[in-house]
């Protein structure tokens, strides 16, 4: 485990060092790429709570990522046009303030995760995968056919939302903000995994019958994990929307769900920093392979296939060896 | 909404349903026998459609195009099974999801590389074009009626294959107990390749048949794949009968929802608001159906406990 801790520190250090170096040499595009990686990492860490620790293979986390994104898009677009979202039973105005947007993004995605989880967790295994995928697609088709917020074209926001005391339009400041959130989320997940709840969640993954026998209801533990996981992914969605100043139903598409799982697998399932390494690697590959060929996804698919077939445990597993202690 | 229009929509729903069945049957067979979740099933659907469009473009024959779709999809399926899928049978579902997701990326980009991003078109054969007169003064497209017929015929053939033939016995035995039939001398790896190729051929056929109504393009398989998942969740994974019932339920719910909900909302709302509310709800109707089935029967309508 020692080696993994050192590796974790190294990964986080690199994620911080690359944009700082880019800032020093004034390459704002590299900072934007790093911010993209950090935001994907937050979403991946959120999914990893359900998928890695809880063993819940959700192929529908794009729903929460998209809800977070649209929470930002809807609030900011109303603030842009000075029209309230609704006037009854109380007046809700739009806002350009990130903390308020985050709060609503987290609340809305947690609520959606609670509802999807309550239904999906009645099943397990392949059923769970297919059902989460189907609910994710439900949101995708709903956003496409709902004309109020741009439908298929999505929503553009002209100016990035604000955070008290920061100039969020400066790439390095927005990166710092995202990085701080990643660190906070990593800290939260570390604490959660060490708590009684986290241990119960891991136990339910490893042996459901024994977990039940000691008096823990796996359904409730999993539902809580799924809800928290969806909330974290929703927060990442709001940040992602702010990074691009654009939201569209693509955030809801099942390719997004697939990519979130890819981050986890590339890095290592159930590893704390797995999604961070995976997301960084994904963004780097996307950028470099994308520069080499228009058909970069063929190569990416081949790499992914290689990792799944031959490098079980992902890259962190490859470097530090298979996990010996249980989590 | 008149009676004639309603009958037409029911037929459309039926047509959509039987095509979904061709997809769902392969998925459910592959899951039932090999325990594999195959996201790349939609890619095989796309392979069938592209093969059919290419052959139809070269020869002008729709029958040859259908044969090509079956052959190309079965070949692609067998090839993928031998090289990749085979290594996934003992793995957990997460690895299967990821590896078949990687296959989708490879298939989609490979097809885009070969054929470009512009859609191809596959023409309806002259013998099946135009409307056909049904009782009660209903004119219905002949091709869509033929699709219902082909779909039901394939379903019947599949039931016979599974209940009456030696291969069918092996498939059912494989669903029951994999180790035991291997111990009894059945060449299990050959059986797996065969089942995978069979499922692929059905998907390819569906791709070619639907390709003649819609355009043939990269990514066409994915919406159908997800609907096929909804179908087998509703029907119960591993059950061919469940796939048929689920497919027709989903086909009818989706088609009728899109046709009727805007009209129903129109009774209580202004026309414009009714259109958008009806369309939004209709796009969610099959998922609501799926949620309802899950609440009542978490293992699907025909799933085993």
What confidence tens digit (pLDDT) does each residue in A241-260 have?
Answer: 999 999 999 999 999 999 99
> Cβ B109–A269 below 8 Å, yes or no?
no
**CATH architecture observed for domain B3-296:** Orthogonal Bundle (1.10)
Of A142, A258, A296, the CB nearest to B280: A142
Confidence bin at B1 (pLDDT 50/70/90): low
CA distance B250 to B260: 15
Closest residue in A to B258 (Cα–Cα): A145
Residue A317 lies in a domain: no
Range among A170-184, B112-126, B180-194 rated most confident: A170-184
DSSP B32-57: HHH----TTHHHHHHHHHHHHHHHHH
Cα–Cα nearest to B151, from B210, B197, B222, B223: B210
Is pLDDT of A130 > 90? Answer: no
Residue B138's DSSP bridge partners are: B134
ω before B202 within 30° of 0 (cis)? no
A134-138, A201-205, A319-323, B70-74: lowest mean pLDDT where?
A: A319-323
- How far separated are the first and last CA of chain B, in Å rounded? 42
Q: How far off is chain A from B256, nearest CA to CA, in Å? A: 17
Q: pLDDT for B252-281, tens place per residue?
A: 999 999 998 888 888 888 888 888 888 888
* Window from A314-323, B15-24, B123-132 with minimum mean pLDDT: A314-323
CA distance B219 to A245: 27
- B42: tokens are 């939609």
Which among A312, A133, A289, A306 has a CA at the least distance from the CA of B109? A289
Phi then psi for A150, rounded to 5 degrees? 95, -15
pLDDT band (50, 70, 90) for residue A58: very high
Beta carbons of B77 and B86 less than 8 angstroms apart: no
Residues 6+ apart with CB under 8 A from B163: none
The alpha carbon of residue B125 is apart from the nearest alpha carbon of chain A, in Å, by 32
CA-based nearest distance B289→chain A, Å: 11
Residue A272 lies in a domain: no
What is the C-alpha to C-alpha distance for residues B249 and B245, in angstroms, rounded to an integer? Answer: 6
Q: pLDDT tens digits for B172-217?
A: 888 788 788 888 888 888 889 999 999 999 999 999 999 999 889 9
Dump pLDDT digits (tens) for A207-240. Answer: 999 999 999 999 999 999 999 999 999 999 999 9
- In angstroms, rounded to a whole number, what is the distance separating the alpha carbons of residues A324 and A2? 12
> What is the tens place of the pLDDT at every residue in A76-93?
999 888 888 887 777 788
Is residue A283 included in any domain, yes or no?
Answer: no
**Nearest Cβ partner of B287 from A51, A138, A296?**
A138
Supply angle C-alpha A167, A173, A177, rounded to 5: 105
* Residue A319 covered by a domain: no
pLDDT bin (cut points 50, 70, 90) of residue A324 is very low
Whether A173 is in a domain gets the answer yes
The Cα–Cα gap between A183 and A185 comes to: 5
| Token pair for B145 | 């009626």
Mean pLDDT, chain A, whole residue set? 90
Tell me the per-residue pLDDT of B13-29, one tens digit each, with 9 for 90 and over. 999 999 999 999 999 99
Inside any domain, residue A301:
no
Inside any domain, residue A289: no
**What is the count of structural domains for chain A?**
1
Report the candidate in A258, A235, A234 with the shortest Cα–Cα distance to residue A132: A258
Range of the domain at A197: 37-265
Name the helix (H) or strand (E) containing B132: strand B131-134
In-domain check, residue A216: yes
């Amino acid at each position: 485990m020692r080696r993994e801790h050192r590796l974790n520190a190294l990964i986080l250090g690199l994620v911080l060092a690359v944009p700082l170096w880019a800032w020093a040499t004034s390459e704002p595009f590299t900072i934007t790429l790093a911010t993209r990686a950090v935001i994907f990492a937050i979403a991946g860490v959120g999914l990893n709570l359900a998928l890695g620790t809880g063993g819940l293979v959700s192929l529908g986390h794009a729903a929460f990522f998209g809800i977070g994104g649209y929470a930002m898009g809807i609030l900011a677009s109303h603030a842009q046009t000075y029209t309230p979202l609704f006037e009854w039973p109380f007046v809700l105005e739009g806002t350009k303030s990130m903390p308020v947007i985050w709060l609503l993004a987290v609340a809305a995605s947690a609520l959606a995760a609670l509802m999807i989880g309550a239904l999906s967790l009645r099943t397990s295994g392949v059923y769970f995968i297919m059902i989460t995928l189907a609910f994710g697609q439900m949101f995708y088709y709903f956003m496409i056919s709902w004309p109020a917020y741009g439908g298929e074209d999505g929503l553009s926001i002209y100016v990035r939302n604000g955070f008290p005391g920061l100039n969020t339009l400066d790439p390095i400041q927005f990166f710092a903000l995202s990085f701080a959130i990643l660190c906070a989320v990593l800290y939260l997940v570390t604490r959660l995994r060490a708590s009684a709840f986290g241990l119960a969640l891991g136990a339910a993954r490893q042996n459901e019958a024994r977990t039940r026998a000691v008096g823990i209801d796996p359904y409730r533990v999993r539902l809580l994990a799924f809800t928290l996981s969806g909330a974290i992914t929703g927060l990442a969605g709001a940040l992602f929307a702010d990074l691009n100043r654009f939201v569209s139903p693509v955030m809801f598409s099942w390719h997004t769900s697939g990519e979130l799982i890819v981050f986890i697998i590339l890095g290592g399932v159930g590893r704390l920093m797995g999604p961070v390494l995976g997301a960084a690697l994904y963004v780097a590959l996307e950028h470099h392979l994308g520069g080499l060929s228009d058909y970069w996804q063929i190569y990416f698919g081949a790499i992914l296939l290689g990792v799944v077939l031959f490098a079980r445990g992902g890259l962190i597993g490859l470097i530090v060896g298979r996990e010996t202690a249980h989590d | 909404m008149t009676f004639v229009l309603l009958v037409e929509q029911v037929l459309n729903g039926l047509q959509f349903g039987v095509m979904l069945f061709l997809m769902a049957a392969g998925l459910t067979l592959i899951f039932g026998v090999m325990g594999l979740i195959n996201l790349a099933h939609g890619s095989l659907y796309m392979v069938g459609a592209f093969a059919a469009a290419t052959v139809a473009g070269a020869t002008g024959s729709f029958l040859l195009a259908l044969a090509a779709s079956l052959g190309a999809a079965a070949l692609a399926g067998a090839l993928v099974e031998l090289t990749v899928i085979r290594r996934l049978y003992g793995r957990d579902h997460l690895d299967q999801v990821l590896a078949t997701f990687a296959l989708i990326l490879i298939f989609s980009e490979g097809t885009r590389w070969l054929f470009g991003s512009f859609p191809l078109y596959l023409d309806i054969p002259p013998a099946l074009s135009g409307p056909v007169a049904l009782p009660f003064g209903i004119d219905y497209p002949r091709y869509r009626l033929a699709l219902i017929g082909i779909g039901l015929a394939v379903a019947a053939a599949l039931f016979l294959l599974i209940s009456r033939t030696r291969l069918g016995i092996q498939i059912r035995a494989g669903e029951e107990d994999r180790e035991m039939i291997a111990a009894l001398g059945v060449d299990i790896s050959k059986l797996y390749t065969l089942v995978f190729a069979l499922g692929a051929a059905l998907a390819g056929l569906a791709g070619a048949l639907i390709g003649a109504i819609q355009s043939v393009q990269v990514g066409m398989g994915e919406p159908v794949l997800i609907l096929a998942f909804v179908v087998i969740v509703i029907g119960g994974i591993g059950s061919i009968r469940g796939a048929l019932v689920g497919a027709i339920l989903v086909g009818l719910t989706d088609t009728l929802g899109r046709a009727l909900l805007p009209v129903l909302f129109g009774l209580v709302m202004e026309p414009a608001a009714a259109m958008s509310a009806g369309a939004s709800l209709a796009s969610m109707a099959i998922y609501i159906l799926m949620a309802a089935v899950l609440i009542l029967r978490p293992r699907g309508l025909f799933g085993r406990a």
